[in-house]
Structure 1
């Protein structure tokens, strides 16, 4: 990712755009931050089908960058590169979804897998093995690995998506302003973080490594494959399994949390 600075870059252009509405300054900011679009596109493209055009990803990403520049408030103290990356990624994913980039059959497979992990791990109170998942779904090992590969494109999500169905609050709203949380929201946040930490601890060693390198070390799936001496498709499968397990755990935690209110 382009190196982030501790101070806001291109401050004169930001002032000219935000304080004076200078269109030329806005254009300069777009040009300066275009490498962010390339960075996000390269990361997302690894897990997408080959028929998805990088040009289409870039087009959606540029729209997200423009939206970020228009909505960014330099006075909030946020790093623009981080904020813009959220917006770019969300714009790309939203654009792909509008174009039906994931077939219904793939989404049905993802739902079936997620329900299988959730049901079995709630029953056994531990991480289940591939053999147990296979037995539950009536698959062999090769069919399961192919299924995980197929649904890998569904394990990315947009920060613009609602946190819960039929609600307006989105993930990015929580990330932008965490100073205005109510006390009960803070308690819920701590509870969910604790549950997530427990869920991560229950992952297999390889799954934990993939999650750590992807979300904490900011490596791409291709880079993780090189580090772990595995193929990118195998890394994608490990990531899919980890996401299914974590989603199941968090869904159970949220159900418990909201039922107790």
Structure 2
């Protein structure tokens, strides 16, 4: 894969390692919000691959695939950190919902109903449902609350860019998945259905609405509420 001058042959390398980019993108997107596009991650990953080809030095004794994997993941993480998927106002409202859910769960010992959450927030049920529609609950985690207790130990590094060669990272990722699965099982039944159809069966809002015999707006509300409940549980984790 080298030219006569000893440089990596660009086209051949891009073709050979593009499946690696897609594999890493698939691994990463499984832990990200539904509104993150796979093709966007792949595109950024290809830029990372091209960068790796320009920086790779075989004399360092590192295999190209290992070096490229780090550069590809790094490019994807940089893109995610630089993105802002929800306005500040909507994010603030999402956190207000989560705070109300958390207080009620502590007080009631169960998942609160919509009317109870609205009451806790001091607004009408109609206004609360309008808020759910507005925030759309597209993100299970936000970048600014992904920081850990130690410098450099953030959510993306711990749960998105898991290094297959790092047993501790794999264990942390496994625990995260278990916590998420457990939290979903404790959701109210209808919200479980929405999450299952949306994430496991790749159904869109219109299709889910047809199955549940409700409006698309109602499905959006249920999804937002489920996300708020899950974020409360994962924060405890």
Same fold (TM over 0.5): yes
Residue 35 of structure 2 is matched in structure 1 by 44
**C-alpha separation between the residues in 1 aligned to 2:151 and 2:205?**
32
Q: 1:201 to 1:59 in 2, by over 3 A?
A: closer
Q: 1:66 aligns with which of 34, 37, 47?
A: 47
What per-residue deviation string (whole Å, max 9, x for no partner) do you get for residues 53-97 of structure 1?
A: x9xx97786334423675698967xxx9xxx89976x66654442
For 2:105, the equivalent position in structure 1 comes to 121
CA RMSD of aligned residues (A): 4.6
Using the alignment, how far apart are the partners of 1:153 and 1:65 within structure 2?
A: 29
Relative to structure 1, the CA distance from residue 146 to residue 115 in structure 2 (aligned partners, 3 Å threshold; closer, same or farther) is same
2:56 counterpart residue number: none
Partner secondary structure for residue 21 of structure 1: coil
For residue 7 of structure 1, what is the aligned residue in structure 2? none
1:212 aligns with 2:196: yes
Inter-partner Cα distance in structure 1 for 2:91 and 2:217: 19
Distance 2:223 2:181 in 1: 16
Could you say if the C-alpha distance between residues 229 and 91 of structure 1 is closer, same or farther in structure 2, counting changes exceeding 3 Å?
Answer: farther
Confirm or deny: 8 A CA contact 2:136 2:220 kept in the other structure.
yes
Note the 1:92-103 alignment, pairs <5 A: 93-97=80-84, 102-103=86-87
For the structure 1 residues 119 and 222, does the alpha-carbon distance in structure 2 shift closer, same or farther, using more than 3 Å as the test?
Answer: same
Q: CA deviation at 1:240?
A: 1.1
For residues 177 and 196 of structure 1, do their structure 2 counterparts lie closer, same or farther at Cα, with a shift above 3 Å needed? Answer: same
Shift of 1:138: 1.1
Residue 135 of structure 2 is aligned to residue 151 of structure 1:
yes
CA distance in 2, matches of 1:250, 1:235: 22
- Work out which of the two has the higher radius of gyration on C-alpha atoms and give 1 or 2: 2
Structure-1 residue corresponding to 2:118: 134
* Map of 2:12 onto structure 1: 25
Q: Partners of 1:31 and 1:180 in 2: how far apart?
A: 23
Q: Distance in 1 between matches of 2:190 and 2:198?
A: 12
Structure 2 alignment gaps of length 5 or more: 54-62
What is the match of residue 181 of structure 1? 167
Query: Paired residue for 1:171, among 151, 156, 159?
Result: 156
Q: Could you tell me which residue of structure 2 aligns to residue 236 of structure 1? A: 220
